[in-house]
Structure 1
Amino acid sequence: MYPRPSILTRLALRRVQNYRSGINNGRCKCCSSQALVIPPKLLQKRFYSKPPNHVSFCFSDLANQNKTHVLDADPKKYLNFALRWMLKSQPQLQTLEFILSNYHELETSLLTTFSYDLLQSGNIKAAISLQHFLLDKCPKYQIPNQLWSYLIDQVCAKSDHVGAMFIYHELIDNHKFYAELNFGVQENDFIPFLVCDSVLVRLATIFANNEDHLRILGLLRYFRRFYSYLHHRDNYRAMLLLLIESHAKLGNLKPALDSFRRLALITKDYQPYNEALLNNSQPVEKVQEEEIRWRDANIEANEYKYEFEPKENFDIHQNLLCQLCQTEKYTPLIHRNVYSFAKTQSGGIAHNPILSSAIAITDLPEFINLLASHFLSSNDTLQNISTRAVLEFIMQCHIGVSAFVISALCKVGNTKQAFLVMQALMNKTSKRNASRNQNFVTILDSISARSATDHQLADEVYNYHKLIKRGYVNKRVLQLFVRFLLTSPFTTSSDLLSKLEKLKTWKEARIFVSKDMFAAYENLDPSGKFYDLIICNEQI
């Protein structure tokens, strides 16, 4: 006779019976984990007065000591249970070592869960290393789309360069494409799913911060392949700007200028004014709608109505190659996803460029630093920079670069030369391109910061602005000129009050000045007529 079991033992046996009733098709109803059929000799003897033959358990409910006994008895059989236990109770380093040793026997769902835990704890590099290891060692392993989504979000949030490279070589330009022979395939066809265009910009930002211009070029190829310039123009512009900045950080002047020129050529604000062309032009949206209807008609009629059909001997060989490889004939004269409009090709109807706004100097700070370094290195002294050489430099690239050249000259302290270059541009390009407001703003800001005593140069710049604009003065230009007057020792009360009277006609035209500038204003305007325009900011 066995002694009557104690109360604790009876409670334990009752829990066993409850788990038996909760097991359905080998799964535990409470946690959906695989049920265990464990020999009682692996459990502590104090739980039983008369050991049963076998007991079904939910592994997660066992005591830690019993879990250890079970796993030590047959490690291979209970690997997934061990990993599930370690995910809840063990350090990540110990769990990672366990996975690297037993990866071939583990469930993919558990590996995904641990990868998610690594990302959630901010350990991006460990998560990336684990994915590299599993993709290399397990041919059947694939990263789920849900994990990809969280991985991309964490990498972009942390600006992790290693994670961005992993995303690039798995989703954007997959490395498998270069590991095998391809006949007639010109684009990487290992595309599991499309990456959002806004994510492409965030990845490009990471690459630009790490001077990785080659991968930005790859992102641009990916964008041109899958996205429309028209509907994603802002993101396309942002990526082109980041490409210029990455070249500038590396000190590559020629690639940076080439990239800037390509961006300027698709920007409407830099196009020359042509009245005949303007009258015949159509908005891009309208032309696109006509092109969609034209393509729909082709699909309905099962025809291809493109007017250009080459008949050269070379094309015969190309047709044969396409038949052998079962691919479409490649025609370099057709540049897809740019402006392959049928009416544009045949009727000569003009259309507007992709981008409308000009490139601001605040968009490319590293590009300005590169130009400043170029002018410093190519001349012994700043006074040796000739206006003619600067103009040749501008015209060889694009007229749009003039604003950045002027900013670079001001940055190196040659404000007078920058003003002469701006005046000389009137003979080289249109009035709009030569007399942009941001050029006057840059020059006046430089005069205020470097040579507050150069009252004559500031007057020349301001009067030239009034002359070019036919009496109209830009609000920002007027504000900067007033700030200069408050710093110059040669300013008279009549000069300042006349400018403030004109500034008062603008809305939201207040000027924030330092204590010294505010004291100068009080001396020049004892009546305090324009106190509402001049605001003292102690932090300046």
Structure 2
Amino acid sequence: MNIGRRIRPRKLHLRLYSQVKVPWSLETPITPKTVTDILPHFVQLPIEEQDTLIEKHPKLLNVQLQIMLYSESDSLKTFKFICKYGQHLQSEFIQIFIYNLLLSNNLKATTTLLHQLLHENKEFQMSNELWALYMDKYFRRFYSFLRSQYIYKSLLILQIESYAELGDLEQCLKLFTAFGFNHNQSDVKRNRNVQAGWENIHKRHEAIQTNENPLLYKDSKYDLDIHQNLLAEICNTELFNPIIHRNVYSSSKTGHNPVINGSISVNDLPALETLITEKVATMEMRELLHLTKMSHQSINLFIVAGLCNVNKPHMALQYLKTLSHIFPTISRKNLIKNQNFIRILHATQDVELAKEVMNYYRDIHNDYINVQVLQA
């Protein structure tokens, strides 16, 4: 008897009639690859045969889900299907449907489905990228940043700390830049271009409030316009102008609200402090300044802390004195925080260095000394 003929039927993934043995692929764990292999054969079976196979092998529900994702236009049916058979479905296929829900901004359905899956299926997992997309849309939809600043700040810190634990300094600096610029920057001296743009916005807000159009010149008015304006003055009313739109939510007297209020503290990001301490241990001054330019100016808090951790308080003070040269638009008082001076004073036993630190602090703050700095 030819052995090849006996092996050949086992290579077929599915037969068109149920009397034939189920192939080896159904005895192995279902993966996206095996589903792709089974799918073209499965769709050729009659509906009754499909139901029979699914009843015997619930893993084939993944094949049925993939068919629905490709062909089913009604997302409600797919939603009910996943809720009913979620414990038998692979996370990879469920994530496709969740991603489609997020693209359509159907956050309520996404949240309900996640609650259902996480409650019933202990093996369900979602990728970090999809979690990030979901959390971003969720907080933008259901939360106000102004009322949930602590939560939003905690999420940003968690991102930075996660990459710091992995040792990814480049990604940490990018996230720290976003973290720094989300804080209240009202005390930072803006450059002239930004200030001019802000004044222009205020003028536009004032024009909206008073319903004035600065683009409407007298030279452009025709006789009909003069006649209409005259009638408007007699009737004590105003003409409709489609160019002008009232905005009752804007105010020319107030600026924008920052996402996060308060200042950045080194104690909030211990993993980032540890990572920067490892990096600055062998760096020279030129490299430290380059590292500062790559991120937000508040990164100097962690660089000073790192230098003090490796017993380089003298270098930390020289670094602080050089910061004003790479950030000329920011005053030294706003650029160099009290945390820096306290950290250097705690790290040194040199009396002369401590005097130099205090003199530099007085120079920045016009002979005023903060109580915490004085106690350090």
Q: With the length of structure 1 as denominator, give the TM-score of the two structures.
A: 0.37
Structure 2 match to 1:139: 84
Alignment of 1:27-426 (within 5 A): 139=84, 176-179=94-97, 182=100, 185-187=103-105, 189=107, 190-193=109-112, 215=131, 218-269=134-185, 272-274=188-190, 277=195, 350-376=255-281, 379=282, 385-426=283-324
Q: Are the structure 2 counterparts of residues 404 and 138 from structure 1 closer, same or farther at C-alpha, using a change threshold of 3 Å?
A: closer
Aligned residue in 2 for 1:119: none
Matched position secondary structure for 1:273: coil
Q: Distance in 2 between matches of 1:403 and 1:222?
A: 32
C-alpha distance in 1 between matches for 2:304 and 2:248: 38
Distance change >3 Å, CA 436–CA 354, structure 1 → 2 = same
**Residue 363 of structure 1, CA deviation:** 0.8
The question of 1:446 aligning with 2:347 is answered yes
Distance 1:466 1:258 in 2: 33
Deviations 1:230-250 (A, max 9, x none): 221221111111111111111
Aligned to 2:338: 437
Distance 2:180 2:96 in 1: 33
Partner residue, 1:320: none
Q: Is the 8 A contact 1:216 1:243 kept in 2?
A: no
**2:367 matched residue in structure 1:** 471
Maintained 8 Å contact 1:400/1:433: no
Identity %: 28
Partners of 1:474 and 1:251 in 2: CA distance: 36
**Is the 2:362–2:369 contact (alpha carbons within 8 Å) kept by the matching residues of 1?**
yes
Q: Distance in 2 between matches of 1:405 and 1:353?
A: 25
Q: 1:403 to 1:182 in 2, by over 3 A?
A: closer
Letter in 1 for 2:94: K
> Residues 455 and 138 from structure 1, CA distance in 2 versus in 1: closer, same or farther, beyond 3 angstroms?
closer
Distance apart, 1:176 and its partner CA: 2.8
Q: Distance in 1 between matches of 2:133 and 2:166?
A: 15
C-alpha RMSD of the superposition: 4.5
Greater RCO (Cα-Cα under 8 Å, separation 6 or more): 2
Taking structure 1 as reference, are residues 137 and 439 closer, same or farther at Cα in structure 2, changes over 3 Å only?
A: closer
Gapped regions of structure 2 (runs ≥ 5): 1-54, 56-79, 115-127, 202-208, 210-241
**Alpha-carbon distance, 1:422 to partner:** 0.7
Per-residue deviation at 1:362? 0.9
Give the whole-Å Cα distance in 2 for the aligned partners of 1:432 and 1:446.
Answer: 22
Give the drift of 1:428: 2.8
Deviations 1:460-510 (A, max 9, x none): 112211222111111111111xxxxxxxxxxxxxxxxxxxxxxxxxxxxxx
Closer, same or farther in 2 for the Cα pair 1:180/1:213, shift >3 Å?
Answer: closer
Cα distance in 2, alignment partners of residues 391 and 401 from structure 1: 11
Residue 251 of structure 1 deviates from its aligned partner by 0.9
Say if 1:258 and 1:175 are closer, same or farther in 2 by CA, change over 3 A: farther
Tell me the number of residue pairs that the alignment of Structure 1 and Structure 2 aligns.
Answer: 237
- What does residue 23 of structure 1 align with? none
Structure label with greater radius of gyration: 1
Mapped partners of 1:176, 1:341: distance in 2? 44
Residues 173, 294 of structure 2: 8 Å contact kept: no
Q: Is this contact kept in 2: 1:410–1:418, CA < 8 A?
A: yes
Q: Is the 8 A contact 1:247 1:253 kept in 2?
A: yes
Between the aligned partners of 2:334 and 2:254, the Cα distance in structure 1 is 25
Distance, in Å, in 2 between the alignment partners of 1:140 and 1:422 is 61
Q: 1:404 to 1:215 in 2, by over 3 A?
A: farther
Would you say the 8 A contact 1:280–1:350 is kept in 2?
no
1:341, distance to aligned residue in structure 2 (A): 10
Match of 2:125 in 1: none
CA pair 191-477 structure 1, distance change in 2 beyond 3 A: same
Task: Classify 1:355/1:467 alpha carbon distance in 2 versus 1 (closer, same or farther; 3 Å).
Answer: same
Deviation string 1:170-227 (CA, Å, 9 cap, x unpaired) is xxxx9735148949935465334599xxxxxxxxxxxxxxxx7984665344323432
Question: Scaled by the length of structure 2, what TM-score is found?
Answer: 0.52
Gaps of 5+ in 1: 1-103, 105-134, 143-168, 196-211, 283-289, 291-304, 309-339, 380-384, 481-540
For each residue in 1:101-156, what CA deviation from the matched residue of structure 2 results, as whole angstroms up to 9, or x when unmatched?
A: xxx9xxxxxxxxxxxxxxxxxxxxxxxxxxxxxx99982799xxxxxxxxxxxxxx
Q: Measured at CA, do residues 353 and 216 of structure 1 come closer, stay the same or move farther in structure 2, by a change above 3 Å? A: same
Q: Is the 8 A contact 1:281 1:351 kept in 2?
A: no
| Structure 1 contact 267–356 (Cα < 8 Å) conserved | yes
Contact 1:399 1:433 in 2 (8 A): no
Change (3 A) 1:369 1:175: farther
